[in-house]
């Protein structure tokens, strides 16, 4: 199939490029609508108890509050006449707003806990109807109106606005601005690095072109999906990082192999066909393994995780197809001009990708494999150790910078108030019960520890479920709040009714349960698909097992490092974030992405090692040859992808920092220590077992493609070996008929 693809795209290169241009224009025009269709929520399971409670309560007087207002007295107490009058007026303005319900205020009969401990501030909580971009626009407008109305010097109050709805809106705004800033740095920076790597401006621009096509095409896919289902806005960040990264990976592989074929004397079209036949085979398996790893995210119900599967699979597919069609067409037309606009003192890199440094390192490693491998394994285990103490939570305003309005309001609530009004739990009682039974149920709830207030709320006009607001005394992310949710759920509901518990703490409990329930299935799927794909690629039983084990070790190291950084807070001053438990969804996301990219690099390395082994080299020589041919490509691709990912470490949103730094660190570890040291060391120790497989599997293996290496190797006569080894390499040019 690879050969037929190469023949087709090189026969009509101009037609292929026109089709690619049309696709790019279509993607830019219609993909620009993606941002407005994506959402900033999606961390909970829509089938969980807390989600069902939210759906039933939505729009009714008992809906969970998503808007929090903290009013501070400019002087004196909030009970002073001027402050009380201003507070009552503020409450009236809020209650009069359309789409605002369930307004509770200290000045209009609210609980005493709505007053701060020092008496200088009071709280109002409310529910604003709507979702997504519509809800974000409403709460931002409300915030501006309310702060403007109390902003004059004559006002007795200073107003701060926050709450879940404003947190989501500000998360979306800041993540979009961070994405644009990252792109403005990443694109030119990547081009400069590629020019240095390739030694040619023309060659350097080709992988970047594949990345741009992948990003633009995925934006079109997300725009279409966003119109029919929920998609997280954070999928845009993965699109940019993975699109550029895989575009560069595949572009590096194609362009480097094409240069090798040109150096062997093949004409441009034949060189492009042979490149697709060899490197294209590797790209197909690489894309399949990365897509399989990302598809594992689809087993998790929260659409935050599913969105990354949508974006990841789309970007991988578009990058692979572009690399196998657009690049060969361009290379056919360019020919030797691929090395045009050469950079001074970098002309020596034009002939191919064989690296002397990686060849020397590989020889050292295979000579002393245990001595080389044990320190690296020890380092990865040390990095992994902190993950044993990992804690988990759902994202709240502390994921935002301290300059954000909702973050400032959240800090005020946590620091000055005993009652966490914005984190009230909503108990929805379905069915019919007598008033006395409902009152008894409310009394039993109020007797629980860590409960500040229990307020039965009348339902809507007519028949409908009863709603009870349970306001905790503790932080909604704390273990005490999670235990309170379990205690409420253990209280028997009135006879003939069912009780559903919702609210922030209930969402956290259900999110953790969902992830824990789905993790075994996800691990089984990602392990099975990776094993099957690598088994088909290598025709070996041991190599897939080795790849999965090394990926697990490097992933444990990355997750441990993330706990050390983001939960323990060792780099919080440098990165400017608030330490705290890890998001329930981010370790899962990081696992699937880093696992997929690790297998991607594994395929690159194994392809050249297998090619050398199939050509007749023994186990040790094939390892050295494969590492020498791919070490530079893998390291360069990893460094460029890490540069893209680590740029998100400058984000103001800690979720994006976690994703960028975690994925970037995983790529760097994998592209250097794992592929450069552990892979050759373990393959050297395994010896001939690397290539053992049952007879039925070997019998189905296709014959290796007849690819002449850049040089033939022959043993030198005794006493006449060169000083640097026992192998003499003689350049070989293909037969004249092959060059035509």
699-737 residue pLDDT tens: 544 444 444 444 433 444 444 433 333 333 444 444 444
> Is 1 a residue whose pLDDT tops 70?
no
- Helix (H) or strand (E) segment spanning residue 557: helix 542-562
Average model confidence (pLDDT) across the chain: 83
Find which of 414-423, 610-619, 680-689 is predicted with most confidence, using mean pLDDT.
680-689
Q: How would residue 463 be classed by pLDDT, with cut points 50, 70 and 90?
A: low
**What's the confidence (pLDDT) of residue 419?**
61
CA dihedral 106, 110, 112, 116 (to 10 degrees): -30
Of 586, 101, 531, which is closest to residue 288 (Cα–Cα)?
A: 531
**What's the confidence (pLDDT) of residue 369?**
94
Q: How would residue 528 be classed by pLDDT, with cut points 50, 70 and 90?
A: very high
**What's the confidence (pLDDT) of residue 227?**
83
Q: Which residue has the higher pLDDT, 653 or 716?
A: 653
pTM comes to 0.81
As to burial, measured by CB atoms within 10 angstroms (0-12 exposed, 13-18 middle, 19+ buried), residue 343 is: middle
Question: Cβ contacts of residue 311 below 8 Å, gap of 6+?
Answer: 218, 221, 222, 235, 236, 238, 239, 242
Q: How would residue 246 be classed by pLDDT, with cut points 50, 70 and 90?
A: confident
> Is 312 a residue whose pLDDT tops 50?
yes
> Is 624 a residue whose pLDDT tops 90?
yes
**What's the confidence (pLDDT) of residue 521?**
93
**What's the confidence (pLDDT) of residue 420?**
58
Q: What is the DSSP string of 81-150?
A: HHHHHHHHHHHHHHHTSTTEEEEEEGGGT--GGGB-TTSSEEEEEEEE---HHHHHHHHHHHHHHHHHHT
Which phi and psi angles does 358 have, rounded to 5°? Answer: -70, -30
104-147 residue pLDDT tens: 888 887 667 788 988 899 999 888 887 777 888 889 998 888 88
Q: Which residue has the higher pLDDT, 297 or 464?
A: 297
> Is 607 a residue whose pLDDT tops 50?
yes
The sign of the CA dihedral 280, 286, 290, 295 is positive
21-76 residue pLDDT tens: 999 999 998 888 777 777 777 778 888 898 888 877 765 544 677 889 999 998 88
């Amino acid at each position: 199939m690879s050969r037929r693809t190469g023949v087709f795209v090189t026969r009509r290169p101009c037609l292929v490029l026109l089709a690619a241009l049309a696709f790019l224009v279509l993607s830019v025009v219609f993909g620009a609508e993606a941002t407005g269709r994506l959402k900033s929520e999606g961390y909970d399971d829509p089938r969980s108890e807390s989600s069902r409670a939210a759906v039933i309560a939505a729009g009714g007087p008992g809906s969970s509050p998503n808007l929090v207002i903290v009013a501070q007295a400019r002087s004196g107490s909030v009970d002073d006449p001027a402050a009380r009058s201003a507070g009552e007026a503020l409450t009236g303005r809020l209650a009069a707003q359309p789409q605002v319900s369930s307004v509770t205020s200290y000045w209009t009969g609210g609980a005493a806990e709505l007053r701060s401990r020092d008496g200088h501030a009071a709280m109002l909580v409310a529910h604003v109807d709507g979702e997504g971009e519509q809800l974000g626009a409403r709460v931002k407008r409300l915030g501006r109106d309310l702060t403007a109305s109390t902003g004059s010097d004559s006002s007795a109050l200073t107003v701060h606005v926050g709450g879940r709805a404003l947190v989501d809106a500000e998360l979306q705004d800041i993540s979009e601005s961070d994405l644009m800033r990252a792109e403005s740095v990443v694109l030119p920076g990547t081009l400069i690095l590629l020019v240095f790597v390739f030694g040619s401006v023309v060659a350097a621009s080709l992988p970047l072109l594949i990345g741009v096509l992948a990003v633009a095409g995925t934006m079109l896919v997300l725009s279409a999906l966003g119109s029919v289902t929920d998609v997280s806005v954070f999928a845009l960040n993965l699109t940019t990082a993975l699109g550029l990264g895989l575009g560069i990976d595949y572009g590096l592989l194609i362009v480097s192999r094409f240069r090798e074929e040109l150096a062997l004397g093949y004409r441009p079209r034949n060189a492009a066909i042979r490149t697709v036949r060899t490197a294209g085979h590797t790209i197909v398996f690489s894309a399949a393994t990365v897509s399989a790893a990302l598809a594992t995210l689809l087993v998790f119900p929260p659409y935050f995780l599913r969105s990354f599967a949508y974006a990841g699979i789309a970007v991988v597919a578009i990058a692979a197809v572009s690399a196998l069609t657009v690049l060969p067409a361009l290379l056919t037309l360019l020919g030797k001009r691929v090395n045009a606009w050469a950079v001074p003192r970098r002309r020596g890199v034009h002939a191919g990708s064989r690296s002397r440094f990686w060849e020397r390192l590989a020889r050292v490693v295979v000579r002393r494999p245990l001595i080389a491998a044990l320190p690296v394994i020890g380092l990865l285990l040390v990095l992994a150790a902190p993950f044993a103490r990992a804690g988990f939570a759902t994202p709240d305003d502390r994921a935002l910078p301290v300059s954000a309005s909702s973050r400032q309001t959240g800090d005020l609530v946590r620091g000055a108030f005993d009652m966490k009004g914005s984190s009230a739990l909503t108990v929805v009682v379905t069915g019919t019960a007598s008033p006395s039974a409902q009152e008894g149920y409310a009394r039993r709830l109020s007797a629980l520890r860590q409960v500040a207030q229990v307020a039965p709320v009348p339902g809507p006009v007519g028949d409908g479920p009863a709603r009870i607001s349970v306001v905790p005394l503790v932080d909604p992310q704390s273990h005490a709040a999670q235990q309170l949710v379990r205690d409420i759920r253990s209280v028997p509901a009135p006879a003939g009714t069912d009780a559903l518990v919702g609210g922030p703490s209930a969402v956290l409990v259900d999110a953790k349960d969902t992830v824990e329930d789905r993790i075994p299935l996800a691990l089984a799927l990602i392990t099975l698909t990776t094993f099957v794909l690598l088994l088909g690629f290598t025709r070996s039983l041991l190599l897939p097992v080795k790849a999965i084990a090394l990926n697990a070790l490097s992933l444990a190291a990355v997750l441990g490092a993330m706990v050390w950084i983001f939960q323990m807070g060792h780099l919080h001053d440098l990165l400017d974030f608030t330490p705290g438990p890890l998001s329930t969804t981010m370790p899962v996301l990081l696992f699937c992405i880093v696992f997929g990219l690790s297998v991607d690099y594994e395929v690159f390395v194994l392809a050249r090692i297998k090619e050398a082994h199939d050509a007749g080299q023994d186990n040790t020589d094939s390892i050295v040859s494969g590492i020498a041919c791919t070490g530079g490509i893998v390291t360069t691709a990893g460094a460029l992808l890490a540069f893209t990912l680590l740029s998100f470490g400058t984000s103001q949103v800690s979720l994006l920092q976690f994703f960028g730094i975690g994925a970037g660190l995983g790529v760097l570890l994998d592209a250097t220590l794992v592929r450069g040291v552990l892979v050759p060391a373990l393959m050297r120790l395994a010896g001939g077992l690397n290539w053992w497989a049952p007879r039925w599997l070997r019998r189905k293996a296709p014959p290796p493609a007849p690819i002449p290496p850049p040089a033939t190797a022959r043993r030198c006569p005794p006493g006449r070996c060169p000083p640097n080894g026992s192998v003499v390499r003689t350049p070989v040019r293909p037969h004249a008929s092959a060059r035509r």
